[in-house]
Amino acid sequence: MSSSSPALTAVATDEADTTRPAAYMNPYLAGVGLGLVLLAAFVVMGRGLGASGAFTSLTAIAVEAVAPEHTRANEFYAGYLERGVGHPLKTWLLFEVLGVLVGGFLSGALAGRVGRRIEKGPRAALGTRLALAFAGGALMGYGAKLARGCTSGQALSGGAVLNVGSWAFMLMVFAGAYALAWFVRRQWT
């Protein structure tokens, strides 16, 4: 958006990315865009955005395929299997996540940012990085279920409706991440 505006040069926080094909958008403008998308979800659907719920549906379906009895007896999985418009795969969040996949690709392609890569710091070993990607994901999957949502569903959507639990959650996300950052600095810096 309006990259010719002299205003943007003053806030270019992306100097480190000059080797990238295109600079990232002004974070505040992107934030307004994201906020309007969230607002649209409120106005049209009466609900916020989400992500981890889609993967919970996928997990529940996968577990059910292996052990149907066990899965249906589990209150947690059963709750997710009951969702969906006629089929547990046809849930709102899963379709939303499909959209995220398309939207992310669209933006990346327009900016020339699509390409095979592995995101890691210059000092990080490849194997460690991949193992930690899995481990971090597992911690987050577990944490997101305990907290009833992830950064999208709780922090973003709940934050905008001034939900007490969401704000408490958000504080703890930042606290946890900053507390551990120093110990894994070799991965990223």
- Entry field: residues in the chain: 189
Residue 99, token pair as written in the block: 């959209």
| Residue 22 C-beta-side C-alpha neighbours within 13 Å | 13
Q: Scanning residues 86 to 115, which ones bind another protein (CB under 8 A)?
A: 90, 92-108, 111, 113-115
Residue indicated by tokens 């899965």: 71
Asked if residue 21 binds another protein (CB under 8 A), the reply is no
**Using the rule CB under 8 A, which residue among 12, 36, 68, 125 binds another protein?**
36
The distance of closest approach from Cβ of residue 69 to another protein in the complex, given in angstroms and rounded to an integer, is 14
Q: How far is the CB of 11 from another protein (least distance, A)?
A: 5
**Closest to another protein by CB, 68 or 161:** 161
Under rule CB under 8 A, which residues in 58-87 are in contact with another protein? 58-60, 62-63, 74-77, 79, 83, 85
Give Cα 125 to chain centroid, integer Å: 24
Assess 17 for contact with another protein (CB under 8 A).
yes
- Residue of 34, 72, 88, 125 interacting with another protein (CB under 8 A): 34
Minimum distance of another protein from residue 68's CB (angstroms): 14
Regarding 39 and contact with another protein (CB under 8 A), the answer is yes
Burial of 7 (0-12, 13-18, 19+ CB in 10 A): exposed
Contact 124, 187 (CB under 8 A): yes
125 lines the binding site for another protein (CB under 8 A): no
Please state the closest distance from residue 124 (CB atom) to another protein, in A: 10
Euclidean distance between the first and the last CA atom of the chain, given in angstroms as a whole number: 30
The residue among 69 and 164 lying less far from another protein, judged by its C-beta, is 164
Q: Is position 53 an interface residue for another protein (rule: CB under 8 A)?
A: yes
Residue 51 DSSP SS3: coil
Cα distance between residue 75 and residue 78, in whole Å: 5
Q: Which is nearer to another protein, 36 or 68 (by Cβ)? A: 36
Among 21, 68, 125, 189, binds another protein (CB under 8 A): 189
Nearest-angstrom CA–CA distance, 93 and 56: 10
Q: What is the largest CA-CA distance in the chain?
A: 63
